[in-house]
Structure 1
Amino acid sequence: MLFAYEDAGKDRFRTAAIPSELVRLYGGQLIAQALGAMQKTVSPEKTAHSFHAYFGRPGHIDKDLDFAVLRDNDGRSFSTRRVTVTQDGAVILTASASFQVGEDGPRHQFPMPDVPPPEGLRPLHDYVAEAADRLPVRHRPFWLGQHQFEWRPVEPFRIFSGGPPTAGPHYWLKLKARLGDDEAEHQRYLTYVSDLHILHAGLAPLAIGWADDHLQTSSLDHALWFHDRFRVDEWLLYTLDSPAAGGGRALGRGTLHASDGRLVATVSQEGLIRVHETPRSRF
């Protein structure tokens, strides 16, 4: 259902609204569907190696999404695409991606952090369930709902403000359902999940919890680079940090390693972080 596209003209696609109790569209869904729309216009031997997006305005959960793709370039090795995503004619996201035919070449990478394996760690859902009665009402539909991914925090999972500032966290994650071998599908699902927790990395050094009821957050942009093949239905280690925060914004960065130590993707995102004097009713 997430990637069920209806043809709406040449390089035009539409996805139906997905029932949800959220107050706005989850950004990870939007960027994953934007990547999927661009993938539909590229020959299958080329897979995405980079993706860049800007969020324009909050998306509505009860309205269809329209995708208009532009074919900027098609070479022998690379293809580039742009997409504009709208609801009722209003732009909510613009994105671009580059696709490449697979090839060999010299390699180097950041090493995989030395952290405990996921099997002995508590599921993230346990942390959230313990804090359920203290969560602001606006957060409960998303965080207490069913999720497609299993998350295992390496460090204690910060929910509320207070306590000492901490560095960026590590998470093990994997899709609960088993997928086939289509590399493009695994890329879409990794794009989907990469939007979650990355902005929280910018809050940790400030000792701010994502469930602080005075906090307003919103994704402003998102970038993703794919370095190697991977399976999103097998454990991946998501290592997060934040180089800087200020001016009402925070920058989060992330690397994703496969369990065999290969660095398979890098992520960055700048997001809005505003702390208000009064509690927020929605955002």
Structure 2
Amino acid sequence: MLVVGLTGGIASGKSTVSKLFQESQVPVIDLDVLARIAVEPDSYALSALVRHFGESILRPDGTLNREKLGSIVFNNERERKVLNSIVHPAVRRLLAWELVKAWMRGEKVCVVDAPLLIEAGLWKMCGAIVVVYCSEILQLQRLRSRNNLSLQDAQSRLSAQAPLSSKLKYADYVIDNSGPMADLSSQVDRVVTRLHARAGWSWVLSWLVPPVGIVRAFLRIGWRLYVQGVGKEKRRRTRGEKRGPDEIELHERRRSS
């Protein structure tokens, strides 16, 4: 099974792309959903959060008050690291189980929708990475329009995240969401076709013989990290459609396997 990481930035259109993948019959695991499950009442993660941040982060019914917790960590890097150190391991365990279930169903490709795919280090367990991209100006315009925010508030939210441009070096496929919906949909269709081709026929062998799948997964990860150098700052030759120096659409990292 080919595990595909899908990421982007706030107001980049990642959620729309995720829905388009699902409409193309590609299963999607939403890490935002898993993050909510990880901090349900009586969970270890929620207990750990309460021990550190206090009971003020709880609602009267015992559920997590995300707005209150968000206000604490929003502009506090140290507290945000504590939050991540508690929640991320719990989410990774849930993700591992969801991937096992997808593999047991015999899925050929499975997408992991994760806003913090890069920041949390989850990209290392993916066989391919899709980044949804648009310019920072367009992000700002969409964020203000969607959330009815002032320019200052929108800029503050945007600056709290890693810039989209910093994620491009991790991408195998870049989907440019700067145009109309029809253009976005056609790009997703092409990516789905290429992902199925990338998974190839050998996924059946990996499914039928689990040890083969495990070995192939480790080899794929090792190849990406140490041979392709995914995430390293260096220029790579790409192929795909190119409109101009400031536009990015469906670039695919050149592979030798």
Interval of TM-score (by shorter of Structure 1 and Structure 2): under 0.3
Structure with larger RCO (C-alpha < 8 A, sep 6+)? 2
> Which one has a larger percent helix, Structure 1 or Structure 2?
2
Q: TM-score, normalised by structure 1?
A: 0.22
**TM-score, with structure 2 as normaliser:** 0.24
